[in-house]
Chains A and B, each alone.
Chain A
Amino acid sequence: MNRDEILTKILAIFAVNFEIENPDPDENLGEAHEFDSIDAIELIREIELLLDTTLTRQEKESAMGIRTINQIVDYVSDLAAARA
């Protein structure tokens, strides 16, 4: 998956799972959309399904500092590259 494809998938997850439509790629999701730690855990599960992989504890913990859509796309791109 290239970056655009990942972005499309992530936005679809946000629309369906979190009812957040087309968020600004650089806005703070917590401040703008009440996206919280419970949502982050839910998102990690969706990312595992998206990449058909199991994330390590360290990989999951590294996601906890993510705040924006662009950061999520970077995170998923790195995970995908590491598994390529």
Chain B
Amino acid sequence: MERRVVITGAAAITPIGNNRETILANLTQGVSGVEPLKSDGLLTGHIHSKVFGTVGEPIDYAFKRRDRKTMGPVAYYACETARRAIAAAGLEPAFIQSGRMGAAFGSTHGSPTVQRGIYRTFFSETDARLTSIGAVDYLKSMVHTTAVNITKMFGITGRVISSSTACTTSSQSIGFGYEAIKFGLQDAMLCGGADEYDTTTVAVFDNLLACSTAYNETPERTPRPFDRDRDGLVVGEGAGALVLEALEGAQKRGAHILGEVIGFSCMNNGGDLILPNKEGIARTIRSGLACARLTPEQVDFISAHATATKTGDVMEAQAIGEIYGTGPAVTGLKSYMGHTMGSCGAIETILTLYLMRSGIVVPTLNLENIDERCAMIRHPEAVSEMPIRIAAIQNFAFGGVNTCLFIRRFVR
């Protein structure tokens, strides 16, 4: 049994806006969401990178206390995007709670803000009884906090998948949700990922010399994927949620269909946990193309992982060049908002959907001088009208995990 899987709801919280209109306006006007790193009184003094992809637009949460009490910041992001995506899809509570709908949602490591509060209590000399640790702190901080706060808020009773594979967290969520529906295990899945403002992640990448440091005084000029003068990634925050449904069910209830997921691949480099691997990326792309039953010539647009690290961009460009040549337009969407970690796959899928539905492509921001080692692919030079019928979204994570998603403009 193989079913077509469509997207009927999508919502994102990003450093360049929290709704389609704002995000598209910032993409087309070349506005960056990267800002100075805020002091946390703990790590920021030791971190060389002083920039962060920051969610700046205020969010008016209208959650009941019943739901709020088990949420850390990451779950707030997750539940808000889930709420908006479900509302956009127009799903009825009876269906959501029927067991035919599940949730695939994750984050890099739960809520670091709450975890930091727990550690602060552990090492405090004024709270020997550890009374500052709340009864719900584990529920707020645990690695699957996003998925289960969503299931609780909406009464979702189907399967729960909570991937936590760093930068491929939410692309896996979408992919695994797609597979659950495609093979008839669920009729719908709420899929996505979230990550909150977190300086620990910055410190980790900073220690690995992978963070951007040369543009601390001009945050909007970094990251610079594929650019000769790129100097590393910029950590960011955000969330993205998509409602995936079996085509038959979506059509039966007259849902507005935003796009179709037509293929997914997830593979591992089978070796080093950090170093980018061109062969691993290429294998993943080919596997995804086979899953989607596509030839490379059919792909119009690629949302590249493109974190702006010195080696990663080269490996990705070369893998794309080897398979696609100069066919599809390739954009590194992280150039606008930094690397939103566990949410990047979902956010970049949603942004690609926005571009697909608007019939435009945008260039990689800050790409002023193409690194000659990344020049074998087609980099859009400006915002331009271009129909996107089929798009690929590529994401790669520490641990050697690679994913490739394919989406298509919906055709009846």
Contact = CB atoms under 8 A, between A and B. Distances in A.
A34 B136 contact: no
Interface residues of A, number: 11
A19 B65 contact: yes
20 contacts: A18-B65, A19-B65, A34-B65, A34-B66, A38-B69, A38-B70, A38-B135, A38-B139, A39-B69, A41-B135, A42-B134, A42-B135, A42-B136, A45-B131, A45-B134, A45-B135, A48-B129, A48-B131, A49-B131, A54-B129
Interface string B239-272: 0000000000000000000000000000000000
Nearest to A20: B65
Q: How big is chain B's contact interface, by range?
A: 10 to 19
Tell me the dominant secondary structure on chain A's binding face: helix
Contacts of B131: 45, 48-49
4 A-B pairs with the lowest CB-CB distances in the bound complex, closest first: A41-B135, A42-B135, A34-B66, A19-B65
Contacts of B65: 18-19, 34
A52 B135 CA distance: 18
Nearest to B65: A19
Contacts of A49: 131
Interface string A14-52: 000011000000000000001000110110010011000
Interface string B53-84: 00000000000011001100000000000000
Given A45-B135, A48-B131, A54-B129, 9 more contacts: A18-B65, A19-B65, A34-B65, A34-B66, A38-B69, A38-B136, A42-B134, A42-B135, A49-B131
Contacts of B69: 38-39
Interface string A51-64: 00010000000000
A49 B135 CA distance: 14
With a 10 A CB-CB cut-off, give which of A18, A41, A45, A54 has the most chain B CB atoms: A45
A30 to B, nearest CB: 11
A61 to B, nearest CB: 15
B20 to A, nearest CB: 33
Contacts of A48: 129, 131
A41 B197 CA distance: 29
A39 B70 CA distance: 10
A69 to B, nearest CB: 17
A42 B69 CA distance: 11
A38 B152 CA distance: 14
B19 to A, nearest CB: 29
A54 B131 CA distance: 10
A50 to B, nearest CB: 11
Contacts of B66: 34
Interface in B25-72: 65-66, 69-70
Contacts of A19: 65
B187 to A, nearest CB: 30
B45 to A, nearest CB: 33
A69 B135 CA distance: 20
Interface string B130-150: 010011100100000000000
Nearest to B129: A54
